[in-house]
A = this chain, B = another copy of it.
Amino acid sequence: MSDLTLAVDIGGTKFAAGLVEPDGRVVAAQRSATPPGGDAETLWETLTGLLDRLEPPPGVAGVGIGCGGPMTWPAGEVSPLNMGGWRGFPLRERLAARFPGIPVRIHNDAICLAVAEHWRGAGRGSAAMLGMVVSTGVGGGLILGGRLIDGGTGNAGHIGHVVVDPGGPQCGCGGNGCLEAIARGPGLAAWAVAQGWSPGHAGSSQEPGRASEPGGESLRQDGEPSGQGGELYREEGTATARRLAADAAAGDPIALAAMTRAGRALGVAIASAVNLCDLDLVTVGGGLSQAGDLLFGPLEKALREHTRMGFAGRVRVVPAALGQDAGLVGAAALVIAGDRYWSPGP
């Protein structure tokens, strides 16, 4: 029996598989682009091809899977929003058939990222933590009492659907004023465009003529509402939002206003989570989090305005520490550190 765990990370942009040491180190990994529009078996063959290339040793200790939601949980019949070919696809069962006799465990990809930060990243040692991803979507996972909180159906952690403005913009979920509707990269970029911002032209609002120059980039590529396409919780797919951050850094007033708007929405939603769950720590990862103080400044300000009770003032908000392997690390933790991150049984 090997002491390695096989980790699988399934996203709308790429599939990844890796072998993870008991201490969380990823010692081998393979990646494939997600076949666009692939049907159920095409997607499955992409995954099995990846596993064949990885060549896991005989007798891995278990299999941990992170996959975009929604899914039935813990059964692991997945219907990822951004992979139309899998609807009710028995991903966990298929992998269990391929790796019999060992634990095969699955969770939402955003939850796996939160678990990774708690286990081996910026959240180590926290008793009460929210791990967030702010990217094309806004997601997260809750760790309370030092353990992953699943909620009644494995869906705890949906910080992106905490309501920050009940009369606010429509969200991909069908509600209004969710954090995600305001702070997801494409939502933020769309708001800036509506205010007159043109991607990649810092200062364009003062120089309207430049907005129509050749080379102005369409927002279409990641402007769809969450739930209809794109990568929800990863760093891909936020090119336009990153350009917005760059323009904000260059002093573009609309871009700055957009970052402030997103930062404040994040601060309010985090405050609600802190007050409700008595959190020590919030980690923030994902493409948009790389905007630094432009985002975290307004976030901190709003957070402190709305966490005035004594216990809530202690919370810290820090950047996520792990990089592109985080999804594999968190998936592996479902097996390796199942005492903390896996509740429903084998």
**CB nearest to A140 among chain B residues:** B276
CA–CA, A174 and B271, complex, Å: 13
When distances are taken between beta carbons in the complex, the residues of chain B under 8 Å from A145 are 147, 149-150, 343
Q: 1/0 per position for A176-192, CB-CB distance to B under 8 A?
A: 11100000000000000
Give the Cβ gap from A248 to chain B, nearest Cβ, in Å. Answer: 21
User: Is the pair A309, B277 in contact by a Cβ cutoff of 8 Å?
Assistant: no
User: Is the pair A268, B166 in contact by a Cβ cutoff of 8 Å?
Assistant: yes
User: Is the pair A162, B275 in contact by a Cβ cutoff of 8 Å?
Assistant: yes
When distances are taken between beta carbons in the complex, the residues of chain B under 8 Å from A157 are 276, 278
CA–CA, A311 and B271, complex, Å: 23
User: Is the pair A272, B152 in contact by a Cβ cutoff of 8 Å?
Assistant: no
Give the Cβ gap from A345 to chain B, nearest Cβ, in Å. Answer: 12
User: Is the pair A307, B175 in contact by a Cβ cutoff of 8 Å?
Assistant: yes
User: Is the pair B276, A309 in contact by a Cβ cutoff of 8 Å?
Assistant: no
Contacts A166-B164, A166-B165, A268-B166 given; indicate if A308 touches B173 (C-beta within 8 A). Answer: yes
Q: 1/0 per position for A134-157, CB-CB distance to B under 8 A?
A: 000000001011010111111111
Give the Cβ gap from A88 to chain B, nearest Cβ, in Å. Answer: 12
User: Is the pair B144, A278 in contact by a Cβ cutoff of 8 Å?
Assistant: no
User: Is the pair A150, B278 in contact by a Cβ cutoff of 8 Å?
Assistant: yes
When distances are taken between beta carbons in the complex, the residues of chain B under 8 Å from A177 are 306
- The answer to whether the Cβ of A340 comes within 8 Å of any Cβ in the partner chain is no
User: Is the pair A158, B275 in contact by a Cβ cutoff of 8 Å?
Assistant: yes
Q: 1/0 per position for A256-269, CB-CB distance to B under 8 A?
A: 00000000100011
- List residues 105-155 of chain A with CB under 8 A from any CB of chain B: 126-128, 142, 144-145, 147, 149-155
CA–CA, A34 and B278, complex, Å: 29
CA–CA, A174 and B178, complex, Å: 24
- The answer to whether the Cβ of A217 comes within 8 Å of any Cβ in the partner chain is no
User: Is the pair A149, B152 in contact by a Cβ cutoff of 8 Å?
Assistant: no
Instruction: Count chain B CB atoms within 10 A of each CB in A156, A273, A276 and give the residue with the most.
Output: A276
- The answer to whether the Cβ of A244 comes within 8 Å of any Cβ in the partner chain is no
CA–CA, A277 and B144, complex, Å: 11
Contacts A145-B150, A149-B144, A173-B309 given; indicate if A163 touches B276 (C-beta within 8 A). Answer: no
User: Is the pair B272, A163 in contact by a Cβ cutoff of 8 Å?
Assistant: yes
User: Is the pair A175, B305 in contact by a Cβ cutoff of 8 Å?
Assistant: yes
- The answer to whether the Cβ of A7 comes within 8 Å of any Cβ in the partner chain is no
CA–CA, A49 and B64, complex, Å: 58
- The answer to whether the Cβ of A50 comes within 8 Å of any Cβ in the partner chain is no
Give the Cβ gap from A205 to chain B, nearest Cβ, in Å. Answer: 25
CA–CA, A174 and B305, complex, Å: 8
Contacts A176-B306, A310-B70, A311-B70 given; indicate if A278 touches B161 (C-beta within 8 A). Answer: no
Instruction: Select one of B158, B268, B312 contacting A278, CB under 8 A.
Output: B158
Apart from A128-B151, A156-B277, A272-B272, list 12 A-B contacts with CB within 8 A. A70-B310, A127-B152, A145-B147, A145-B343, A151-B278, A153-B311, A156-B278, A158-B309, A161-B275, A161-B309, A176-B305, A269-B272
